[in-house]
Structure 1
């Protein structure tokens, strides 16, 4: 349904969103992600074609002429045509996938708030859906949101590879990333540059309650909402059943979530990424 919707929209507005063409006979689903670091090489196409033969797509060549921007189209005499095509796609959302039922080689499915993740042995197939998540719940689905999120992630993975390698292997579809399976630390590295936020774990929420030592960071009195911090700080969290739990660096090491050396390296890279972006 999603592909048909993209094709309809592309036909209405030539060049705005080139249609994807499913092709079950293509020998490989991989389109190498450009400029990957040497530590993250592309899987040989023959091995991937055996594992994931049914979700092949043709990818528009980067050598082709770039389509006009949405801003350019909506400010031209094609405005009504563009907005009409967008309205006709509002019900065309990728909200659920079940590739493990149809694609040989995919062992299981894990459903996250936004991504559907399929186990392919040494690799994971991550499908970024159009589900919109906020405050630990799914609110709705937004057309093409998954495509934008997936392609934005790929752009950043490519942009920051000089800071740290990543697990990306290929991107065979606008909503799909194939990644090398990694061992994951059960810690989320949250870097903050401002005293702001509205969630239970945000810096302003805890600060206005009187907390002055948050995740190992000593905070002075007198800070105001949205104030820029003197230096960026790291406020790591770990996962409970359905929410994030703030944790200090000492607790991370004492609980065996990470070694001190691993924490030091990860925190250094997290701060470097935040400063770069």
Structure 2
């Protein structure tokens, strides 16, 4: 009787077999996943070693170079020449103007391209591919290259920098907006469409409430980036603080250049504070 009680009942054998097969399948998938991760880690490590060899990276050169940089900063650039702050007000305002207007241009054009590039909102897949190609092309050309091209036709000044910032921003924001739009909840779209709403009503009732947070965050982030870009574009004649910075460096007036750098830093902090407050109120 005791031996019969210890025997496994026939009805429990299929259940045990099913559990064993699931465990075997789990181990097989786990083994494949670990092997894939090992391949990826190995590939990344090889690429890192290849890049280190290709760039000639040397830790000793970095240490000694850092020392020389610090010596240059604290002997030639500091203390900054604060007497030139008055002459930096106008270039600083030009930098702000370029950054803001460039962002507005980017946002307006990117909204159209982003909607057309999103697969769930685009009227046709060909339109989506063309829109993505346009944003990819604009994104592949750096703002400084756009500025060099525009200087040859428009000339020196803030207008060149503004258009260059706007063109490069279209490529970035167009892709970002499209990805945000593609990640929205499709059930809300279908629910609004089921009521017989037209395309504009679907955008207003189902798309915009979900898209607003990403739209505001990316747009304000681009404004923050534009301050940095505007400073770089000034080095190629696009006006703003970068243009003043280039002139100071060319004349070996490093203390004045340090003041211009501090002014750029102050503008970045100001814009970051303002965008944080705007984000809190809108989102």
Q: TM-score, normalised by structure 2?
A: 0.21
| Structure 1 or 2: more strand by fraction | 1
Higher relative contact order (CA 8 A, sep 6+): 2
| Structure 1 or 2: more helix by fraction | 2
Q: TM-score, normalised by structure 1?
A: 0.22
Larger Rg: 1 or 2?
Answer: 2
